[in-house]
A and B are shown apart, each in its own frame.
Chain A
Amino acid sequence: MHRLQQVLKNLLSNAFKFTEKGRVELALQRVGEGRVALSVRDTGIGMSPEQQQSVFDAFRQADGTISRKYGGTGLGLSISRELARLLGGTISLESALGEGSTFSVELPVAYDPAAVQPRLDRPAASAAPAPAAEPTAPALAPFVLPRKVEDDRDDLIEARDHTRRILLVIEDDEAFAGILRDLSREMGFQALVASTAEEAMVLAQQYMPSAVVLDVGLPDQSGLSVLDRLKRDVQTRHIPIHVVSGSDHAQTALSLGAVGYMLKPVKRDDLAEVLRRLEAKLAQRMHRVLVVEDDDVQRDAVERLLASQDVETVAAGTAAECLDLLKDQTFDCMVLDLSLPDASGYQLLETLSREEAYSFPPVIVYTGRDLSADDEQKLRRYSKSIIIKGAKSPERLLDEVSLFLHQVVSDLSDEQQTMIRKARNRDAILEGRRILIVEDDIRNVYALTNILEPRGAIIEIARNGREALEVLEKASAQNEIAIDLVLMDVMMPVMDGLAATRAIRRNPAWKALPVITLTAKAMPDDQERCIRAGANDYMAKPLDVEKLLSLVRVWMPR
């Protein structure tokens, strides 16, 4: 059911994308014995016969190389085709230029493994029964060796969560290569087979396999040199490589970075075990980190620091490059230097925050500059973490990146999840009201903002009593931005909450301004002191969300 949903979502979203006016129809009908067809018809731009040929092959670009760029309609269709196949069905397409398109998914009502077509078939494009287009030779491969052993390079799919289970088998013995390929497919991998060192390097760099099984004895070069080259390349060094060989090079292989070594002849069971272990390791998904840094040396250093078995880094040297990447890719985390040649890091963050078109991953600011308190506060609006470069900063960067990568929504506490769910409701009493939060502890500022902003309140922040008075002054000068209610922390530097509250009350203009003090002090007379200073009410820390909301509602002027 889930797979079917994926397919339908993909088809529908494409239909909507290409249909400016008119309609999109989803129809379901019986077709023959025990089969149904779901079709998505749109009145969009439609496709020419040539376009129809390539629509399912969007992995291929004109030069025949496979793009590593994800997203876009074609990828979705490739997956959809694969999913339909796995369900024992097919996808077909009817279309004409200017008249819209109809994608049909034909499936058995009940799943029947016998109905699953083998992977190599291409779907029929019903507009014209033209043969599948032959891929043109990859522009970068200098060789044109016929493929000796059949593999999956033409049929690579990518799962929705970007996991790639591609095993690269580097083995010139055809029979053994075939065994490895079949075994790996059984384990859920897709297999690529290279029979020479050169082909191996090309395939490795092009397809970025998740794991490699490598034979040392190759016709053009020792497999050990392949091992060495792969381990020295920043892009591929994290790929686990298991070496299988006829003569004993175990020590060398292991010292070059192989994760394991097996001597031929190898039992099938042992091979299966190796693959099983590799597979288990890869069950962890691959994370992606965007590194934005204009200095080459520093950027390289950061990429080296972060790249690992499950972290992939992508680099940008300017704000423009960064924006480009974020326009059609998502990342788990972004490391940002503030001084970029074409814009300040802060401007970049503002853009990302403002424009819907860009994905906005969690940001770690990594800068060599000292920051003023103002700078820091501005950046904190967008960045969870700010690190100043220094002797211990790589350690901290690695730690905080790992933190972001492993935090998953479901890891949020129950309270947080409840808050997120509840916060979707606007609250009439708070809608459009301006609340001034005077608080020194940034975590509380986040917490309070996250509670109040989704409910419609407009939040102003001051870090201490004196700033609070300044903000109030500025705000009362213009009626539209006047503050409606103040949440005042008591213990702050420069001017504490009680002094600030007294100062507020001394000003006749603010006599009726509601002030709720937030105090870490729990004793009755501490709270008495708040009232005597002129607060309307107080809340003890740690803050109770519900109670705070009700206090705010109570005191918010009508």
Chain B
Amino acid sequence: MSAVAPQAVVIGASAGALQALSGLLPLLPADYPLPILIVVHIRPDRDCVIPQLFQSKCAIAVREAQDKEAIAPGTVYFAPPDYHLLVEQDHSLSLSSDEPLYFSRPAIDVLFETAADAYGEALVGIVLTGANQDGATGLRAIADAGGTAIVQNPQGAYATAMPEAAIEACKQAKIMTIEDISAFLLELGRGDPGRNHPA
């Protein structure tokens, strides 16, 4: 558990992502103090409607991430189709066209690892439902850097392979239901880093 107040949240999901995220994002207030960066495994088609989909349901601002954009609080950034999303040391976003990871581009590991480098302890990483092991190594990197690692409980997850791989790779990770993760995020937003939650 981190002693430093988190400055950013990164989330990765694959199969079942929309349902899981619908239990998290719409509840966040417009003035949520942290940025949230999300990789969902999506097809490489040019147009992805997920950001608009969530924007219509959320109070918090929701956008597709742009290359060289500065990360702003109170904003949810989705990685665009067919590009990896990376975080720079100066907390700006970068895109990359490197090879897919686990057949995925965007890949969760890429986001998580670069975010861990950039934010260190001040980061919360969350792995949700999914059908492959993308994100496991990344979550471990976040935990190793002193950040907070959370995995969706496989029992409530649409697809279990991803959370299971993450739990396997990252022993420090807290396993939570979507509801608990939601509460955790809201408390984060109010300034409580969730010390009261069961491990």
Q: Do chains A and B touch in the complex (CB under 8 A)?
A: no
A-side interface residues toward B, CB under 8 Å? none
* Residues in B lying within 8 Å of A, measured CB to CB: none
